[in-house]
Amino acid sequence: MNRFQLKHPLLAALFALATVLAIFELLAVLCMNQGPHATKQSVRPLPVTLGDCVKLGTVENGRLVGFSPNGNTLAVVREGGWTSAGPIRLWDVRSGKEKGSVGEGWDQIQMVHFSPDSTMIAVYDTNNGIGVWDIATGNQRDAFKPRTFFGNCVSFWFSPDSKSLIYKHFAENFPHDEGDQLFNIRDIGAGRDRATIVGEPWLFEFSPDGTRIATGTSAARGVKRRVMLWAWAGGQPPVLLRDHSVRADSVAFSHSLDSFATANTTGQARDTTEIQIVDMNTGHTRLTFTYTDEETHIQEISFSRDEKLLIANGGGGHQLSWTTRSTLWDIRGTAARKIGSYPVEPGVSSDAGVLAVQSLTGRSEVRVSLVEVATGQEKGALTQTGDVTGSFVGTFNNLKSYASIAFSPDGRVVIVWRLFTDQKRGGYNVARIWQVEPLKELETLYSCHDLSFSPDRRTLVVLTGNGSLRLWRLASSRC
């Protein structure tokens, strides 16, 4: 037995009790901070560090397409006025080396998508139609020219198993005949269409796991008539699960496809707009609330990615006095709670916990502040005095300039960019990179022409004004 216990039994007992209490206290702290029910207040976030810059190469007049779903491939095109131009250059993110290009000679590119398995890249070009390439070999897997409506862009998506494409089908009587609002499903390997599903080209959404599809149709003057939910396992045509009758001017699908929102508006300021949140499976209305504004009317609605917020954007007024408005509601409870109205849509973090709100303090001077959604309290400013912008919102005679805002996928980093400041240092297209919690500026980048986060939020790519393509690694670190 322990000699200390033999000589001092009372002290030994007290020491043992203190040890047990300390262990319980430690376990309680660990459970509170790391358990499955940890709250935002109990978690102490790790600081973010910005790693060394890796220069990938130079792209003249470039524009970022973005990362493949696995984050291993980066695609870049050239700007070409209203469209983009090929070739589409591809980089291996892990090695930093360029791996090849596709779409040589394509100069009217309007849409680019990676396949979910990150093995293919598909492109729509006004002159050449849709082409699909194998990323590893650069070989073309499929190519076809879909029918267009007055040369409109033909949107398309990969199936969840990466074996098919769903693309807009502009039939002969589109858009006057509701029966001609269709999507075609094309087998990439066979090079032919296999099925169609009903849906308006501008009402389409995949569920996150890719097994369900939401579509809708419109009648005369764009009034929405139907909302449909489809099941798709891949390999077989989608199966219709739900078909809801609606009458609305705007429809939006939640990210999970568990709900959809409708808005009925007269298109006139000061008129009341009814907004409903509807359960996709049952068709029951979960929430009903209204929107009224003296100057604007709703033109589009959308859900935040985590479905906690509903966002309504619109405008109103005359050509010389056009006003824009973005209104946000918290829709988690039994009644919608209005968070606020802003001149331009705020940036929203992935967990809808904070907003990046913009306001104009002068003709073109902008202030961006970080605001907590729950309390409405400002955490701090993301811009400095004298920051002005060059991105415009409004009509030709009433332009207002605002910054661009990008949250990382995990919401721990926010970037405010397209700022003009500090001309002595070449302050054109300045980007300010911030850690959200605790709020801290990590870096100021100059001549930032374009930027994008990787899906795993570990990489930030920046395209500078002189065409330099650069990567930064984002990491957590303990202080």
DSSP string across 59-72: -TTEEEEEE-TTS-
DSSP string across 176-216: T-GGGEEEEEEETTTTEEEEEEE--TT-EEE-TTSSEEEEE
pLDDT at 114: 97
Q: Which CATH class is domain 254-342?
A: mainly beta
Q: How far apart are CA 114 and CA 112, in angstroms?
A: 7
Close Cβ partners of 26 (under 8 Å, ≥ 6 residues apart):
none
Strand 297-303 and strand 285-291: the pairing is: unpaired
Q: How far apart are CA 49 and CA 442, in angstroms?
A: 7
pLDDT at 320: 60
Question: What tokens were used for 252?
Answer: 């939006």
Domain ranges of the chain: 1-44, 254-342
Bond before 175 cis per omega within 30 degrees: yes
DSSP string across 237-277: --EEEEEEEEEESEEEE-TTSSEEEEEE--SSTTS-EEEEE
Q: How far apart are CA 157 and CA 206, in angstroms?
A: 9
pLDDT at 400: 65
Type of residue numbered 42? S
Q: How far apart are CA 312 and CA 249, in angstroms?
A: 13
Cβ proximity of 383 and 404 under 8 Å: no
Q: How far apart are CA 370 and CA 378, in angstroms?
A: 6
Give the rounded distance of the alpha carbon of 181 from its chain centre: 26
pLDDT at 81: 72
pLDDT at 18: 44
The pTM score is 0.81
Q: How far apart are CA 218 and CA 432, in angstroms?
A: 42
Angle in degrees, CA 450, 453, 458, rounded to 5: 140
Close Cβ partners of 357 (under 8 Å, ≥ 6 residues apart):
340, 342, 346, 368, 369, 370, 371
Could you list the pLDDT tens digit for every one of the 479 residues in the chain? 333 233 344 334 433 444 434 433 333 333 333 333 333 333 445 566 777 788 888 988 889 999 999 999 999 999 877 789 889 999 999 899 999 999 999 999 999 999 999 999 999 999 999 999 999 999 999 999 988 776 667 889 998 889 999 998 776 666 666 666 789 999 999 999 999 898 887 789 989 888 899 999 887 666 788 899 999 876 778 999 999 999 888 999 999 999 999 998 776 767 788 999 999 999 999 999 999 887 777 889 999 999 999 999 988 776 666 778 899 999 999 999 999 999 889 999 999 999 999 988 766 788 999 999 999 999 999 998 888 876 555 544 455 678 899 999 989 999 998 888 755 555 578 899 999 999 999 999 888 889 999 998 789 999 988 889 999 888 754 32
Q: How far apart are CA 65 and CA 113, in angstroms?
A: 8
Q: How far apart are CA 476 and CA 479, in angstroms?
A: 10
pLDDT at 23: 38
pLDDT at 203: 85
pLDDT at 128: 93
